[in-house]
Amino acid sequence: MLNVYKYAKRVAIAALVVLLIASSFYLLGRHAYFFLLVFAAILLAVLFCGITDWLTSKLHLKRGLALLLSVLLFFGLIVAAFWLVAPTASQQVQEMRQTIPKAVTQVQDWLSQYGWGQKLIEQVPSDMSKAMPKQDALFSKIFGVFSSTLSFLADLLIVIITALFLAANPSMYTTGFVKLFPLRNRSRVIEVLGKSYTTLKLWLVGMLSAMAIIGVSTAIGYTAIGLPLAFVLALIAFFLAFIPNIGPWIAGLPAVLVGLTVSPQMALYVILVYGGIQMVESYVITPIIFQKTVDLPPALLLFFQVLLGILQGALGLLLAAPILAVLMVWVNEFYVKDVLEAEPTDAAENGIAKASAPEA
């Protein structure tokens, strides 16, 4: 009778786990964008908490004051950087709007010299007036862009406010989340949450360091070869470095196009300089930085980026790396250590029972 009860209990637990997993996938599929916004707020809160912890340890300040200073420091740096680079960046962006079409025309002229290139060009409308939207469609697109901009600003405001609430009292939210688990598992959940926080903090440190190195080295390299719009192109490389594997390729394309407006030789120099920077970053800088922080398998990361990019677009692509870092912690702790590598309870109990049983 006892064995039947244990079997029924295990079946009920397995059914509940399957139901929870199915419900989770359903919620993620239907409301994935909401969960991505929540994770973005958590990631920003981790950044605030990391700066707060550093200020507390170095300056011996109270946590509330340290958090206020960390928030002011973060947004102050953003405002100062915008104030310093906005005039140059704005001017170079205006120049890029004229430069990129010229580069595209030069690429079309080069492609027209080859048979496969001519077939490719034929797929592009020769009469651009036909490709331009009509007045009603143009107003519709303008309204769509305006709505998208407002939606982006609203989402950004929600992420910032949520991150501030989370960073102000993280223990309250952690305690509330841990209460969803049985008493015997709560200490283990707290331990894994601590490891997840450490992983995200180390990942942010490594990623921001790599972004700074790429941005500065790209600006120096482009300036050294005399590439026009070097500053704004380096700025693009800096921001897109946040997206591993895919971001650097996207950032290199406009630089090559700008180089083509000068000469094919300049475009070749751009490829050599940017390719050299990426090789050094991929094989020297990144291994050194992430060896001490968080090392993600490149193939698995690329697969996860493509998956989230297909499901949720730019936001999924942007957050794929930190989400994968946390998932690897959870899988390693909850599944590998607690399930695969754990000693079977029944076997241990049977061993104790046999050892304590008297010999016949």
- Residue 206 forms part of a structural domain: yes
pLDDT category at 168 given cuts 50, 70, 90 is very high
pLDDT digits (tens, 9 = 90+) for 82-95: 787 777 767 776 77
- Residue 130 forms part of a structural domain: yes
Residue 349, pLDDT > 50, answer no
CB 309 within 8 A of CB 253: no
Sign of CA dihedral 31, 33, 36, 37: negative
What is the identity of the amino acid at 186?
R
- Choose among 70, 51, 71, 43: nearest CA to 200: 43
More reliable by pLDDT, 50 or 283: 50
Question: Across all residues in the chain, what is the average pLDDT?
Answer: 80
322 token code pair: 């930190």
**Calpha distance 209→292 (Å, rounded):** 12
More reliable by pLDDT, 146 or 101: 101
CA angle 261, 89, 143 (to 5 degrees): 95
**Calpha distance 168→181 (Å, rounded):** 24
Q: Give the DSSP letter string of 149-160.
A: HHHHHHHHHHHH
Task: Please report, to the nearest 10 degrees, the dihedral formed by the alpha carbons of residues 61, 64, 68, 73 taken in order.
Answer: 40
Residue 202 has a CB neighbour count (10 Å cut-off) of 17
Give me the half-sphere count of Cα atoms (radius 13 Å) on the Cβ side of residue 330: 10
Highest mean pLDDT among 5-19, 117-131, 302-316: 302-316
Q: 163, exposed or middle or buried, with CB in 10 Å at 0-12, 13-18, 19+? A: buried
- Residue 272 forms part of a structural domain: yes
**Calpha distance 222→259 (Å, rounded):** 10
Widest pairwise Cα distance in the chain: 99
pLDDT category at 314 given cuts 50, 70, 90 is confident
Angstrom distances, CA of residue 305 to CA of 73, 102, 245? 31, 32, 9
DSSP structural state of residue 344: P
CB 55 within 8 A of CB 69: yes
Residue 115, pLDDT > 70, answer no
Q: Find the domain containing 114 and state its range.
A: 32-341
pLDDT category at 164 given cuts 50, 70, 90 is very high
pLDDT digits (tens, 9 = 90+) for 244-270: 888 888 899 888 888 888 888 898 999
- Residue 176 forms part of a structural domain: yes
pTM above 0.85, yes or no: no
Q: What is the pLDDT of residue 40?
A: 94
- Residue 357 forms part of a structural domain: no
Angstrom distances, CA of residue 43 to CA of 76, 79, 347? 19, 20, 42
The single residue listed with the structure tokens 């331990």 is 191
pLDDT digits (tens, 9 = 90+) for 39-65: 999 999 999 999 999 999 888 889 899
Q: What is the pLDDT of residue 131?
A: 44
CA angle 42, 45, 48 (to 5 degrees): 160
Report how many domains make up the chain.
1
pLDDT category at 322 given cuts 50, 70, 90 is very high
- Residue 36 forms part of a structural domain: yes
